[in-house]
Chains A and B, each alone.
Chain A
Amino acid sequence: MTNDPSSKACGHGFDFSVPQLAGVLIPIVLGFALLIGLLQALAAFKWLPTARPVQGFDEVLLSHRHTMLRADHPAEIIVIGDSSSAVNIEAPLLSRLLPAEPRVLNQGMFMGIDMAIYGQAAGNFIKHHPGQVKLVVLLTTAEQLPNTRMSPYHESYWHGLFEGDDTGKPRSPASAWLAMDVARLRLANHVVPFAVHGQSGWFYGHPLFLRDHLPRHDGSTVDRGWFNRSGREDLSHWRINPDRAREAAKLRDAIPRDVTLAFGIAPMPEGYVGPEFRDQRDALMREFNEWLQADILLTNLPARLPNGYCASTVHLNQRGQEAFTRLLAEELERLGALGR
């Protein structure tokens, strides 16, 4: 590479040879390759600690939901759905508010995954606890119904849990080849003290605290945010995604017919949707139920709540959670949902 043209018009010259440059780059490339080789070998010989899916909120949540499928829990009511179900319903409070105080287990997950997985979170629990569960409450946000699925990673993570693999499937072939998931789940998560990201981090701190919080609250979580957006949205263009309809049928199949299935749509902030949203919500609910075939539609639940009760367009905050749980308890009692 050495060239030193003496011409004045010369742009630049390299005062080193290719072997000299290789002498700089090879230690880096070699070090990188050795590191990957070492990680792959340690994983292959099972010399690394077990996977610790603690880095993300989602992994902790899915891991907890999977653990609960066979856990010794006396739940008679199971709550399922997207993150609105995990966040908006406080399971112990709902239990206290209902006659005879039946135990409630929150198995709510999040948006972006196959809704059939919500069905598994209830159906498998029912299968492992025969004759125990009387009611399944499905709560989703209206936002979920028009959406297409987004996160194959989380779906494969969930399915992997059934196969005893809690590392999650690699996000990409390159990620597998570079041993990124091995490094992240089996190594980094044991030594890196990263807090949960976002607002939740300031409530739960480390993901391990979230893991502690979930069993103490029968699976319910809290969003500590505060909705302060202004300007309403016109959501009249929302239509149910046909994929969702197919998923709904699978969800229904996972719940035995002798268990009552109630379905509701989570409220949205008054600052985000207008009063006309109620009619739209009811229409969406009825249309979706053509596939879902729920036994009870929770149409008396509020379609909107004041901004002060909301953490975001799809989540309630702690204050909203308590209010909504009370309204849900009243509605379930009014409909005699447990006595069916």
Chain B
Amino acid sequence: MLFNSTDFFAFFGVFLLAWYLVRGDLGARNWLIVFASYIFYAWWDYRFTALLLWSSVVDYAVAIGMGRVQSSSSSFEATPSVPHVDNNDGDRSEDDKSSLRLRRKLLLLVSLVSNLGVLFFFKYFDFFRESMRALLDQFGMQMNWTGLQFILPVGISFYTFQTISYTVDVYRGRVEATRNFGQFLAYVAFFPQLVAGPIERASHLLPQLARKLTITLPMVESGLWLFIWGLFKKVVLADSFGHLVDPVFSYVDPEATQTLIATVAFAFQIYCDFSGYTDMARGMARMLGFDLMLNFNLPYFAISVQDFWRRWHISLSTWLRDYLYVPLGGNRLGVGRTHLNLLVVMLLGGLWHGAAWNFVAWGLWQAVGLMANRLWAERTFARPVRLPGALNWLLTMLFVLYGWLLFRSTSAEQVLVLTASLAHWSPPIWAGAQFRELLFLAAPLVILQLFQWRTGDHEIVLRLPRWARGALQAVLIYVILLFWQREAAPFIYFQF
């Protein structure tokens, strides 16, 4: 079920009514979330709800297991004042402690193997099989493995990462294992953010599911604004930008102007598509009394690659930092190891987006950018030269744009064709129209974000008088209806 479909509006209307009815009972509230979320997910393919349930059950049980081990371990560590009369007893408690640690590690391993195994089979198996087959072909060898050709379950990468973060946090002792199954199911399947994030941490969302929520009028107002603005970004902006993008990326001999306009349009399209989804998710959650994390912080105002990754898909970049980069050693093991860690993290980050080599190339491109950024910032090679902010921004945007060209391409051949096309300039008649459309579509977004950037206030629209905000929202709704498609276009990030 897509947010930009009439089905969803009917679903959400019924859900709000039920939400009002269950306000007096915490358990019923969470089970309502679970029930609605599973209906929401089953709308795509009911069979994949089994995967969602499997992930939840495994991680719920694993975390409880780790919690039990933790409490046994704590009981050993909590009695240091008891004198050890028998040396053998002391030896046994050390053995027990290491055995408990081992059990916790094994439990974590069960969770990782289960989650990553499901992800691998559904998302990556055919990719690796095909890559292996192509590699063996080079050496004249044959491989007879048949592909699984599974349909990719929507949102699998998002909820898998969310549940992994939970078990790792329980393992690290940062989050207490929940014993409330309904709460945990609701945490994994919470429908506003189930299929495209933000990838929520248990430490942030679980406590909200465990307590009474108070929905205030400012929450409803800001939630409503976020939802309408997000829907506008998707239906009006992202899908219209797509019309400028798709033909060029399915074209055999593009020219420089086409490639340039299409790449810039794609930068806007993917931003409006993904951040539009996030805005709607956050808006809905806020209207229900929940707070979801900020996922985009004006990424196209970044003045370095590092800055871009602090602003773009924040829930993924912080996930990669906390659960991959830091455990690999982060920047604590010297320059060489830091760069190796960056490379590994960004390559895996690229692969997270999809099982295709263009995403690996995109990850590699981002890793190179981050490494160059670090070297420059630490002045490892360069002399201490400070570039003007505008130049920093321009260089960063050029870097990001080429990254989007890699991201949107469907083959290495296309990357080469599009890159080569940048050398073929001609004054075509259509350029004016395409360029005007690009500017026209970008204008509302750029104008609002300039205000947000200047004031540092993401919710600047909420400072408008209520009548002015109401009029603005009415116009946005009207334009959304004007652009509404009977067959809703899916969100780009659903495929990940």
Contacts and interface: CB of A to CB of B under 8 A. Distances in A.
Interface of A: 3-5, 7-16, 20-21, 23-24, 26-32, 34-36, 178, 180, 183-184, 188, 192-195, 197-199, 201-206, 209, 226, 228
A15 B23 CA distance: 12
Contact of A27 (B213, B258, B440, B470): B470
Contacts of B221: 24
B429 interface: yes
Interface string B468-496: 01110111011001100000000000000
Interface stretch (B24-32, B43-51, B299-307): B24-32
Given A8-B212, A13-B214, A205-B430, A199 B473 contact: no
B140 interface: no
Contact of A193 (B28, B215, B428, B436): B436
Given A178-B478, A184-B482, A192-B440, 17 more contacts: A4-B214, A11-B25, A11-B29, A12-B288, A13-B23, A15-B215, A21-B220, A30-B470, A32-B474, A32-B477, A35-B478, A193-B436, A195-B437, A201-B244, A201-B430, A206-B432, A228-B252
Contacts of B430: 195, 201-206, 209
15 contacts: A11-B25, A12-B288, A16-B216, A21-B217, A24-B220, A27-B474, A28-B470, A180-B481, A184-B482, A193-B437, A194-B437, A201-B244, A205-B432, A205-B433, A209-B429
B471 A195 contact: no
Interface in B44-82: none
B251 A202 contact: yes
A197 B243 contact: yes
Contacts of A11: 22-26, 28-30, 212-213
Contacts of A205: 428-434
B212 A195 contact: no
B355 interface: no
A28 B27 contact: no
Contacts of A8: 26, 212
Contacts of A12: 19, 23, 29, 212-215, 288-289
A3 B25 CA distance: 13
Contact of A10 (B26, B224, B244, B475): B26
A258 to B, nearest CB: 42
B65 to A, nearest CB: 27
B482 A183 contact: yes
A20 B217 contact: yes
Interface string B401-445: 000000000000000000000000000111111101100100000
Contacts of B361: none
Which of A28, A29, A180, A199 counts the most B-chain CB atoms under 10 A from its CB?
Answer: A28
B381 interface: no
Given A183-B478, A195-B434, A202-B258, A15 B473 contact: no
Contact of A198 (B28, B247, B482): B247
Contacts of A226: 251-252
B23 A10 contact: yes
List of 9 A-B pairs having minimum Cβ-Cβ separation, nearest first: A27-B470, A31-B474, A205-B430, A11-B29, A205-B433, A206-B433, A193-B436, A16-B217, A12-B213
A195 B432 CA distance: 9
B467 interface: yes
B248 A7 contact: no
A107 to B, nearest CB: 24
A192 to B, nearest CB: 7
B478 A32 contact: yes
Contact of A24 (B288, B432, B466): B466
A35 to B, nearest CB: 6
Which of B23, B240, B250, B288 counts the most A-chain CB atoms under 10 A from its CB?
Answer: B23
A202 B217 contact: no
Contacts of A180: 481-482
A213 B473 CA distance: 39
B244 A195 contact: yes
Contacts of A9: 25-27
A168 B216 CA distance: 46
A202 B247 contact: yes
B393 to A, nearest CB: 27
Contacts of A31: 470-471, 473-475
Interface in B261-308: 288-289
A42 to B, nearest CB: 14
Contact of A28 (B215, B248, B477): B477
A331 B216 CA distance: 77
A14 B215 contact: yes
Contacts of A15: 214-217
A28 B229 CA distance: 14
A28 B473 contact: yes
Contacts of B214: 4, 12-15
A21 B287 CA distance: 12
A209 B433 contact: yes
